[in-house]
A and B are shown apart, each in its own frame.
Chain A
Amino acid sequence: MRQQNIKKTVSRGIYTLLALVIVIFCATGMVQAQGVSVSGAVSDEFGESLPGVNISIKGTDKGTVSDIDGKYTLNGVSPNDVLVFSFIGFQTWEENVGNRTVLDVVLFEFSYSLDETVVIGYGSLEKRMVTSSITSVKADDLVSGLGGATLATALQGKIPGLMISNTSSPNSSDGFQLRGVASVKAGQGPLIVIDGIPGGDIRALNQEDIESIDVLKDASAGAIYGTRAAGGVILITTKQAKAGDVEVKYSAELSMEQIRKRPELLSSSEYVMYGLGTDYGYDTDWYKALTNDNPFSHRHVLSISGGSKNALVYASLSAQDQKGIVIGDSRKDYSGRMNAKFTLHDGKVEIQARAEYRQAQRDQRNGSDSFSKAMLMNPTIPIYYDGNESGYNVNEIGIGGSTSNPVADIKLKSYDGKDSWLLTDASLKIRLTDDWTVNGTIGYQDSKWQLNRYTSAYHKSSVDNSRRGEGHHAFDKSTRFSADAYLNFRKQLNDDHYIDAVAGYSFWEGNREKFNMTNYNFTVEGVGPWNMGDGTWLTDGRALMESEKYPRERLLSMFGRVNYTLKDRYLLSASFRREGSSKFGPNNRWGNFWAISGAWRMLEEDFMKDIDILNDLKLRIGYGVTGNNSFDPGYYTRMYAADSQMYPTPTGQWVFAYGPARNANPDLKWEEKGEFNIGFDYALLDNRIYGKFDLYRRKVNDLLYTTNAPVPPMTHATILKNIGSLKNNGWEFEIGGDVVRHKDWSYNTIARFSQNKSKIVDIGESGEIEMGAFPAPGNPGRAARLTNGSTIGQFHVFKYAGLDEDGKWLIYDKNGEIVPGNSANLVDENKRFMGNAMPKLVVSWDHNIRYKKFDASISLRSYLDYDVYSQVDMYYGLRTQSQYNVLKQAFDRYADIDDEKILTNVFIHDATFLKLDALSVGYTLDLKKYTDYVSKARVYLTARDLFVLTKYKGLNPEVDLTGLFPGFEQVNDKSSMYPQTRRFTLGVQLTF
């Protein structure tokens, strides 16, 4: 009954939302502007002057062009004339002159423009020519001041079908998933291509350096990237300077954070009152002790760009200092980028070179279990103890053995980790003739991780082992080299035929090496890990040292693509890539990936010409095949590797034992994804309403997955193999509108809807995949299972049937009978599939409002009708024998339960939520009048994650929904246990 009510509420919510969207979009076009004169200035809606605007008198060939400051003068204009202002990418504007002599005009950039360039991989196209599903995001559309670990925070909700999982930690790692789970193996995420170099790391980039982001969603677009495109492709283009005066921009941001929601645990007095465990007499809020009050972060970016027509340089520098809400969680970044572009021989030769270095210094002393420890700790145990040299209660009151003080654990360590990235590339482009161009690009990327950690002599791990401190160094380096060369042919054959073709080859090599060392028992505490040889465990033969170099990985491919346009109306695109990977055995190395897509610009047809309100209507259809090989190298050959254990030879000499490194699989082959996409793009009412719709069906064959291996005959418990196939269906719909365009104010909005459903078609001989076991304490088992035909996102649990008079579980057995939830009945055959972790609808809705110099934006996001299994509820919500602290609900909602936790649907909750991702308000000041040095200043205030409306009963409804087993709020995972925060940023951007 209750379930039905929720559904009703949800569907009512959906309809209300849709109705609201429709009302807003219908309001479009009702507002118009007026005015009159003969000289004036042309600017965009942000007050930026627009040089090069054509100004003409309607019906004549009389006209002029605005100068560098956007100023113009036009003589001989009569009051009855109409002035026409036109500029590429901007809406053409007409003004009746009337009796005005000064006529300042504001031109509006199109939210939707057919002339916009879309990056498609090994080239670019005008938007009108695109035949597949591509979403483009301009840097201007990303809200400033959101902070976060990477620019993923700003991308959240901007691309329909793209799910991003991250936390508010400055050291968060982001998970991406496009259009549902594309592969069951790790590496389901899309391929990131930065300035044409595949395999980039998004963490290296600054939001300010980005020009545009283009997401190739369907396989017909991605197939040109072959093997790595199964999860989609994200193409990131960094900024390039424009010819003209040197422009200097500086922006500074100050941020502050606060906890938005915290778990309600029993206080010390409640803990004692309920008699949960020993009363040590203190009052500690462990959760609070792990967090900072209002941590303060700041960020600075300086960019300089300029140059002449033949030499353009863009350079930027940034520095930031971010403090997380959690103690021992912070990050300092420095980065520099230089993008240069040179043109030689009258534009026949173009050379581009880009380089970026970034380093992120991370303090990550908190562990993934810091919060689960803090939640479980008896609140009567003190944090501090004077009797200990460190001042912390390390091994004294209520602490010892496997119990440790999570605050002391962080405070008595130092952690200096440094991520650094070097991204470089150079490309050469030669226009051989008007039709033929040849391109060559080489890229080199180097990413390093270096960690120096010291654990104090007073830390529990040192005390427990009677050693004075632990020093640790770790180093991990990956390098990637790529070289691409391709030939491009473009020709308008006659009025009807246009061909754009590209063919080339690509080479890619990756290498990775790492080492680490650990020593213990140092003479001097003060030098930290900087005198590793001093620790006595080295001479005792107990220090640790490890090094590894991964097998070399290579990819080699030839590719080609043809785009053909007939009468600017019928578009056809076909691509092919043949790619070989060193990760597969010689017989399975090469794969062929191809795509074909077409589009019909219906608007150009005669029968559509009369429909005035339509500005664009394009039908698209495509099919493509992409591959996936994202797993570590070294799987196809049977290899020996040293065990971690030593054993003596008969002569008493200890040697490392050697055995098979893993289960080798010489039959490994490409995972292949076939994707069919059909959709349309539309624009109407003078391009004021626009959007697109896409419907897709994907099938992934020969899924690569690390599955349970039968041992014997295998030697290891898991094996990577091609197991079966998976199906993935969904749709995406986007509607945007420039609702109000007025000199003084404007309002535009865009709403995005998507839905996805993934199903296992076949998973091979074993017939099932189980999720990993739930964590200790206890062995509750596994709560999700995939079998042939099962839907991803279902939970596999016992069905709750109430409690007996002692508060013990009752469950339904497989025959539907009510039986006690004891070990005799807690067998898999009594579990059933319940719940659904995939949202019925994912909605995001952005608003941009401008009033004169004020601007504001709002980003809302909602996942509707889905379930989350809350481990938080299950592990901390029930009173047990354990004497651990519990959530207040143990004596409230779950007061009747007096039993050990079991896997039941009691812990599955509806998680529908509405979140205010971002709210930003800004004011732009024109300073030219006041000073020669600063032309413009913009001040803004941005709030991130201001509120979440939900009835969800766990901590955070926005759990990881990517991968094969989505929908778990996990207790041993930082991503679900990290505190949810609100973040406020005050920023200023100065243009010099």
Chain B
Amino acid sequence: MKRGYNYIKLIVLVGLLSFNACDLDEVHYSSVTPGTFFTSPENTYAVLARPFTHWRWFIGNDRWYLQELTTDAMTCPQRGDDWYNGGEYVRLQEHTWNPDDRFVENTYNGVTGGIARTLSAKEDLEALHYTTIGMTDQDKADQVQQLETLLAWFYMRGLDFFGGMPIYDSTQDELQPRATRQATFDHIETLLLKAIPNLKVKAQLGAFEDGYIRRAAAAAILAELYFNSEAYTGIARYNDAAEICRDIIKGEYGPYELDATWWGPHSFDNDRSPEVLWTVPSTYGSTETSWHWYWRYFYHNDAGKYFGGIAGYGAPYNGFMLTPSRKPTGEIYTEYKLGNSYEKFHDLDLRKKPYVYRGNKTYEGMFLVGEQTNPITGESSRGTKLYNGEILNLVDMVAPFKQYPSTLYPTLADLPSGMLVGEENSGIRLVKTPQPNLADQALMYEPDFPMIRLTEIYYMLAECEMRAGNKGVAADLINQVRKRNFANGSDPAPVTANNLDKYRMLDEWLIEFLGEGRRRTDMIRWEVFTNDKWWAHEPSDVTKNRFPIPYTAISANPLIKQNPGYGSDVMDD
């Protein structure tokens, strides 16, 4: 039995050892608590950056689709077995989206996620004593106010897409119902008015834009809010918008001026363009650093050859294009005032050329158009589907040309044009962000996306002046920008007090900001988004100026009510 006691001792020992290890706190290895995170100035930027990386993601994809593919500027027709996708792109163009459409859901989540992440970062930075890690209280005020500005910006996107949003001041708040559009507007205005004076001012003209918010950018956001106030709340605030624009142009918010060239704000070194107020930073490297979402969606999967041998992240899907200007017969559409994106560019416009990279960061043209053979390398992009093996020839038309001539379509005039009959070669593609050739592949993701540039301030002011009856002043402002689009600055078709009307103004917005993700907002401001027609769009219903609230959001917060036009239990604002 003595041995038995030895065994018992052993068991007791094992037991004691185990009990010794009875600490039930979680031990973390790969993540850190906010309390132990801040040890250096870089850490504050890591936290400040989190809502900004969300914002960089936000600018592309779904949010962009809702702003562009629903309009007269750009579209995504079905091409053979590509891009039908259950009709989701047709629904965008026809304004028949529903609350379950992923574009709508992702956009709503993008807006609310942006607000929440910004609030969260703001709270953490507000709680930090900057002096303990070698920073100043002024640094803190700047960082916190940048976040207030970003918060305002996300709320404004929400107001633009969905109308009134639930307003939160903290991540600790109780659940909120949606505020009215006016209350949401007022909240944005309050945030910006408080933030602007606390933000840092750009030090010198053409200095590096790093992706953070300076005073001028916040002021521009406030101007945008006033500019669209009538669409958002029914109360026009064009004069308030104009005042801020004038101050920005005067340099009251820092040194900025129009870029001398049309490509300056979009090129490889555009983070130093004097025109840029706020930029989405991008650089070559792994996917974590680059702004490149458009590559797969705009270009043909063999487009790398035309571009001079580069390869992007994955095969492009041959998707989004300029809304066609021409009928299958080649005639330009005259039935619509809107649309005709490519033909809205004057023939002498330097941008209206096939894009060609000339080496050493220089290039010309802004489109993929016509035969896709690179004039320098002689290499061609070829079709793989219906145009298998053929050199692609991108046309400003959408029609089933491969079925012509046939008994069904004996003449060109018989060919239909619409969202379901596109082919591999349909449509002109936008190359606003330049692509290098293989030798300069490392430049591929150098161009940033200019989120706010001075041209927008000029155009906003021009539209305000126009609405105030000062068409001459308006024309002059636009022409100051336009001239850089023509050789020797000589504009063959300048805007004049006589030719400036609603549609000319819309055309100027179209050609200058083509593909920059703002078309829908401009169309709503001019009340043409749902009332007018263009290529494949018949007038829809005024309720389509706002997107539906996705069901997932309503299920997460039952206080949220739907927008009119998408069911019966709606918010009566």
Contacts and interface: CB of A to CB of B under 8 A. Distances in A.
A880 B87 CA distance: 9
Contact of A712 (B173, B284, B385): B173
Interface of A is mostly: loop
A647 B56 contact: yes
A652 B210 CA distance: 7
Contact of B81 (A543, A553, A884): A884
Interface string B95-117: 01111111001000100110111
A766 B556 contact: yes
Interface magnitude class on chain B: 35 or more
A708 B555 contact: yes
Interface string A878-902: 0011111000000000000000110
Contact of B4 (A432, A551, A639, A884): A432
Interface in B509-553: 551-553
Contact of B388 (A397, A540, A708, A881): A397
Contacts of A883: 80-81, 84
Contacts of A828: 99, 551, 567
A466 B420 contact: no
A776 B557 CA distance: 26
B86 A777 contact: yes
Nearest to B421: A881
Contact of B175 (A649, A656, A713): A713
B566 A827 contact: yes
Contact of A823 (B8, B45, B98, B301): B98
Interface string B243-268: 00000000000000000000000000
B37 A710 contact: no
A654 interface: yes
B288 A646 contact: yes
Interface string B350-362: 0000000000000
Contacts of B175: 710, 713
A763 to B, nearest CB: 10
Interface string A615-656: 000000000000000000110111111011111111011111
A660 B120 contact: yes
Given A581-B24, A589-B24, A823-B98, A349 B117 contact: no
A418 to B, nearest CB: 24
Contacts of A99: none
B61 interface: no
A526 interface: no
A395 interface: yes
Interface residues of A, number: 120
Interface string A792-807: 0000000000000000
Interface string A827-849: 11100000000000000000000
A455 B115 CA distance: 40
Interface in A269-291: 277-278, 280
Given A277-B80, A641-B30, A779-B88, A398 B385 contact: yes
Nearest to A280: B388
A636 B24 CA distance: 13
B281 interface: yes
Contacts of B383: 400
Given A398-B385, A778-B86, A634 B11 contact: no
A542 B85 CA distance: 31
A710 B556 contact: yes
Q: Which of B97, B117, B208, B442 has the most CB of A within 10 A?
A: B117
A428 B311 CA distance: 64
Contacts of A766: 555-558
B556 A709 contact: yes
Contacts of A461: 314
A32 to B, nearest CB: 53
B14 A442 contact: yes
A745 interface: no
B288 A645 contact: yes
A513 B28 CA distance: 12
Contacts of A636: 26
B556 A708 contact: yes
A816 interface: no
B26 A378 contact: no
B487 interface: no
B186 interface: no
Interface stretch (A50-58, A259-267, A767-775): A767-775
Contact of A637 (B33, B50, B286): B33
B11 A440 contact: yes
A398 B556 contact: no
A402 B24 CA distance: 49
A400 B388 CA distance: 10
Contacts of A552: 26-27, 29
B86 A650 contact: no
A659 B285 contact: no
B29 A378 contact: no
Nearest to A653: B42
Nearest to B87: A900
A644 B288 contact: yes
Contact of B313 (A465, A652, A770): A465
Contacts of A586: 25
A711 B304 contact: no
A582 B24 CA distance: 5
A347 interface: no
A505 interface: yes
A400 B53 contact: no
A524 interface: no
Contacts of B91: 823
A480 interface: no
B39 interface: no
Q: Which of B82, B91, B302, B551 has the most CB of A within 10 A?
A: B551
8 contacts: A348-B4, A543-B286, A548-B30, A634-B26, A639-B33, A660-B120, A711-B109, A717-B113
Given A460-B315, A643-B50, 12 more contacts: A395-B301, A401-B315, A403-B81, A440-B14, A467-B311, A636-B26, A646-B288, A648-B211, A712-B116, A715-B120, A779-B86, A827-B567
Closest 7 A/B residue pairs (Cβ):
A778-B86, A400-B384, A464-B315, A466-B311, A781-B100, A659-B50, A549-B29
